[in-house]
Structure 1
């Protein structure tokens, strides 16, 4: 028995010893012989990597106002397994439908999502409505989640909000076509965002480190770090205020005339920096998916090909002046002209008789420009100027997909119709602006620009985009003459087709355009038109060129002078005043021997932000003063709707009276002085009558007293006395043969007259 026990003990001991030997050998091979291999495998398990997202570069206007930036966002996801265990699926579907607007059927599919084994999935993102949502929506989701937690007593209720970031456009739809947008997937689409995507995007970084089972970084573990490289920041040439004027003006015209689209561009002719550029209808880049009409995304300034109509006559005129073949006093017979068997007509059948070429310009006579371009210049010289003005080639503006247009007139009738902007010449709006800017600035064709600066925040460098002269097209002397001729198109309220663009106190040069649209083949529509107006100011020192073009307004009887010229006038007047270029109007005007003061009716700016109120006052050329340090206008003196002399100071009150200092009331009438004193709760003592010429603030008996000395107005009319009523002489373009309603190619002739309906394709 003892022997048997000893044998068993030896056997067990031997087995245990053998096992230890095997274990030691195994440990040797693992930790010594194959140590590097297994250490690598361990590090793979320990190691983790987290991305470091680069910030996309900001886009600002020329004054630093942000147009595009990265902003915090949140992505909603759910755990269908938890939702069904807690019986919350239906409630979550209803709430997410209410907050995110996603279809209930799609949400039910999300909350019922299962794996192949039939079990519910544990994570499901709500795409795309719940992807990268704003904080406002995220807060609603968070509140709902807290409500479920309280009801169920569970911390885990199956709804998650993940931190994210998205592209945000603070000004909404403003400048959307030129900016483009970034999709939720991170793909840049259209505009500056797309063209400069490589520079704006930057480069993501990462951090790799070793962790324990609780994902806590090991103190002595290896760390690999690659910092993110933020994208470059772009400063545009756009002026936010002028951009606003452009967008408001075209939106108003769109609502009135319902064209397919309306586009406007405002630029500095001396540098060709774009100050404002917009198309309507538009879209909101913050919610691009809500815009279903793909036409709203079309960037008309660089992609819209049009027969420009009479605005193109500026090119013909400039070439004729430069070559010395335009004599404003020379006479010709208007009405019609035959070119190689085709009869081309003026809009006014029969014309205006024998008139001067300057009158032909004012009337926008097609015959005058056929004679100038086709007969006097000749086809080769005319084509040379068209090419030199930049037509038929991209301008180089920083926008993707710019079209080069088409200039391929060859036959006599094609050359003739091209002289007044129809037929075998098609241009983009930006080409038109660049060409007319060259006429305005002394003859220099400039490359248009939207980018002013590119800043690299990592390298701390800034690239400044300088104005670029492409070529000298006409001489400064010819430029000056053309401006003076075009000024008469606007200033002549009887014969000038552009009289609706007239702005009192400014010298405006401009030209209307009304071009028939092609309706298949080579035929032209009798009721579909492209109407436009282009011009610049001030004529003697141009600071702004503005082009407005509307595609098919709903009234076929209106032309560029009725539709586009008022839009031009609104943009030009507000923009010039914003730029500090005030109208040159004498203080008094004499009519019927009576001296009258220039007056203006005050707008209502109460409850508006100070910046908005200031812009509105500036756009009207008003002399105003902001009283107080508040951010919102609480009261204005004088009140809205009151008519006052344009030199009178307007007070915008932004604080309660106890916090305000007494403003300067020089030249203020007694009535308004008393209102200001009442508002400030200040005792007012006056001496004399009329308007304030001096003021003194003193303290008497512990109270503030304001002593004012007034004197008679000396040529300043009291309100309501001698207010001037100004008529801009606006009439329909068709009255008196003013605007060309069916301008362009040869018109359909009555049967038997033998006149061509359109230029023949070959001759």
Structure 2
């Protein structure tokens, strides 16, 4: 070898070694962190382990809502694009078999695979048998762009049962309606994380160390709801809806001693497993509204329990008082008719309530006056939220106490011109039934959290303060009067010979919007209702029945009271009411 060639080879070798040395220095020193990070991103997967959402149970431990383990499929679209380019395939060649396995339309899967995003969710809430078939397909095809992760499915085993109370969750498992929304933070828990090394097909390497922080599951929720009571009031509500061709039916049963709701139903209802179905947004909003909480109505004569109990408390009337009813009363030049246009004549206090005499009630309200009447409206929580543990509670509409006129006092005292919610009316009857002490309605009794060691933490959820609205002796006198309306009156459709029922019916014209956009009272649309309880000597349950726009009859005693009677008879089968 001559000297020139030797020098050339030496210089070339030296340049190569210098280049390799520089590259080695760059890789091991300068870009060490960046290269390590890229490598880790290629071989390390971070998997979110979703917390199991807490179960919802009735007061006897019956399961109302639960969560089952499931899976989700995500696609790494950057890897997918490289794959189809290297193999000379089309997106359709993967979309069709994936759609068949997942039970989806090919067009839907293809749209996701051809998205311009770096990654996308292919499907969520997938059960294990489907995942097993998918894993087999991934293995056969050597696919690396599909990522299998953990997910949960919220399951309501009784379908539409108690739907407005339970509510539902969205695709991310977050509560969006009902108790699921109200107690979302309590139910959802805290997700965990799993970090593991994977091969090019995203399979965990068996020899690699796995770092895992376990999920903290959500608390279970125990309700005041009694599944048996809920079951038969739902059946009764369906019968009432069909018989009267009503627009809607609402029924509530509660324990006045605790304020716990034993049953609550609104029809029409929905299946929380699939609340949207094929509904438009307007249809969905209508069917998922909880009338018992979200809406208000004119209560009609059921509101007379508030007017008369307030006057009794103030000592402005007693059982020996009498009132004359000629069939109407003039208030500042305005004629207010009684239920009986020809007049009830001489009426005792018991008669005023029993005959639902508007004139007698207005005369009692006039003894109270605007200031005291409004004070009791406030005490009974009308015109404000009761605090029940359900979202979207309405306050109803009551007159501004500073602007109330004599005619407003008259109409309000008989349940007209002001609106209330069903839960507000239940609070009122519960107060009278509980010795004058209000224990606001609630649905959740306690939250039970089990930690990773199996230790239980129980947290009481019924924390509302009690409030004395009327004295115990006033409440007792009012119960006696209400017993005279039903239990002492065999003409009442809620009368039961062996059960001392007390209560009051109501019939109210609905406010509608006419063709000119003006609001007015309807001539043919009514709300029929009943409110009461049993037994009057020691109230154990209270009941509210509302039938909205019945087509065959209108009066509360004809439409609503018979269904209240059926509720009392059903409850009495396993909870003595005498």
What TM-score comes out, normalization by structure 1 length? Answer: 0.65
Q: Is the 8 A contact 2:495 2:501 kept in 1?
A: yes
Q: CA deviation at 1:217?
A: 4.4
Aligned counterpart, 1:23: 20
Q: Is the 8 A contact 2:527 2:554 kept in 1?
A: no
Aligned counterpart, 2:435: 442
Deviations 1:141-171 (A, max 9, x none): 989x99x99xxxx95599x996642111112
Which of 466, 470, 475 is residue 471 of structure 2 equivalent to?
A: 475
Which of 460, 484, 489 is residue 480 of structure 2 equivalent to?
A: 484
Q: Is the 8 A contact 1:397 1:450 kept in 2?
A: yes
Aligned counterpart, 1:550: 547
* 1:534 match: secondary structure: strand
Aligned counterpart, 2:239: 252
* 2:573 match: secondary structure: helix
- State how far apart, in whole Å, the 2-side matches of 1:322 and 1:546 are: 24
Aligned counterpart, 1:673: none
The 5 Å alignment of 1:215-226 reads 216-217=204-205, 224-226=211-213
* 2:273 match: secondary structure: helix
Deviations 1:461-509 (A, max 9, x none): 2211346443211111111111111111113446x5xx11122311111
- State how far apart, in whole Å, the 2-side matches of 1:540 and 1:330 are: 24
* 2:275 match: secondary structure: helix
Aligned counterpart, 2:408: 414
- State how far apart, in whole Å, the 2-side matches of 1:114 and 1:37 are: 29
The 5 Å alignment of 1:508-657 reads 508-520=501-513, 521=518, 523-555=520-552, 557-579=553-575, 581=576, 583=578
- State how far apart, in whole Å, the 1-side matches of 2:232 and 2:314 are: 38
Aligned counterpart, 1:453: 446
Aligned counterpart, 1:71: 68
Q: CA deviation at 1:291?
A: 6.0
Aligned counterpart, 1:363: 355
Aligned counterpart, 2:229: 242
* 1:30 match: secondary structure: helix
Q: CA deviation at 1:29?
A: 4.7
Assess, with a 3 A threshold, how the Cα gap between structure 1 residues 171 and 378 changes in structure 2: closer, same or farther: same
Q: CA deviation at 1:173?
A: 0.9
Aligned counterpart, 1:426: 419
The 5 Å alignment of 1:339-358 reads 339-358=331-350
Deviations 1:248-299 (A, max 9, x none): 1111100111222111111110110111111000000001121622311011
Q: Is the 8 A contact 2:196 2:204 kept in 1?
A: no
Deviations 1:674-710 (A, max 9, x none): xxxxxxxxxxxxxxxxxxxxxxxxxxxxxxxxxxxxx
Q: Is the 8 A contact 1:74 1:161 kept in 2?
A: no
- State how far apart, in whole Å, the 1-side matches of 2:471 and 2:572 are: 26
Aligned counterpart, 1:628: none
- State how far apart, in whole Å, the 1-side matches of 2:112 and 2:218 are: 38
Q: CA deviation at 1:72?
A: 3.6
Which of 310, 323, 340 is residue 319 of structure 1 equivalent to?
A: 310
Aligned counterpart, 1:465: 461
Q: CA deviation at 1:361?
A: 1.6
* 1:500 match: secondary structure: coil
- State how far apart, in whole Å, the 1-side matches of 2:180 and 2:205 are: 38
* 2:486 match: secondary structure: helix
Aligned counterpart, 1:677: none
Q: Is the 8 A contact 1:337 1:344 kept in 2?
A: yes
Q: Which one is further off, 169-178 or 459-468?
A: 459-468
Assess, with a 3 A threshold, how the Cα gap between structure 1 residues 157 and 35 changes in structure 2: closer, same or farther: closer
Aligned counterpart, 1:726: none
Residues matched between the structures, number: 548
Aligned counterpart, 1:173: 160
* 2:384 match: secondary structure: coil
Q: CA deviation at 1:226?
A: 3.3
Aligned counterpart, 1:8: 5
Assess, with a 3 A threshold, how the Cα gap between structure 1 residues 72 and 230 changes in structure 2: closer, same or farther: closer
Deviations 1:198-248 (A, max 9, x none): 222222221234556675548576x65433222222111111111112211
Assess, with a 3 A threshold, how the Cα gap between structure 1 residues 14 and 462 changes in structure 2: closer, same or farther: same
* Structure with the greater alpha carbon radius of gyration: 1
Aligned counterpart, 1:378: 369
* 1:501 match: secondary structure: coil
Aligned counterpart, 2:180: 193
Gaps of 5+ in 1: 584-763
Aligned counterpart, 1:207: 194
Assess, with a 3 A threshold, how the Cα gap between structure 1 residues 218 and 262 changes in structure 2: closer, same or farther: closer
Q: CA deviation at 1:21?
A: 4.4
Q: CA deviation at 1:186?
A: 3.0
Assess, with a 3 A threshold, how the Cα gap between structure 1 residues 303 and 38 changes in structure 2: closer, same or farther: closer
- State how far apart, in whole Å, the 2-side matches of 1:553 and 1:310 are: 17
Aligned counterpart, 1:390: 381
- State how far apart, in whole Å, the 2-side matches of 1:256 and 1:426 are: 27
Tell me: higher relative CO, structure 1 or 2? Use CA pairs within 8 A at least 6 residues apart: 2
Q: CA deviation at 1:116?
A: 8.5
Assess, with a 3 A threshold, how the Cα gap between structure 1 residues 418 and 157 changes in structure 2: closer, same or farther: farther
Q: Is the 8 A contact 1:311 1:511 kept in 2?
A: yes
Q: CA deviation at 1:576?
A: 3.2
- State how far apart, in whole Å, the 2-side matches of 1:358 and 1:479 are: 15
Q: Is the 8 A contact 1:57 1:231 kept in 2?
A: yes
* 1:182 match: secondary structure: coil
Matched, 1:49 2:35: no
* 2:152 match: secondary structure: strand
- State how far apart, in whole Å, the 2-side matches of 1:396 and 1:24 are: 74
* 1:416 match: secondary structure: helix
What TM-score comes out, normalization by structure 2 length? Answer: 0.84
Assess, with a 3 A threshold, how the Cα gap between structure 1 residues 47 and 370 changes in structure 2: closer, same or farther: same
Q: Is the 8 A contact 1:83 1:157 kept in 2?
A: no
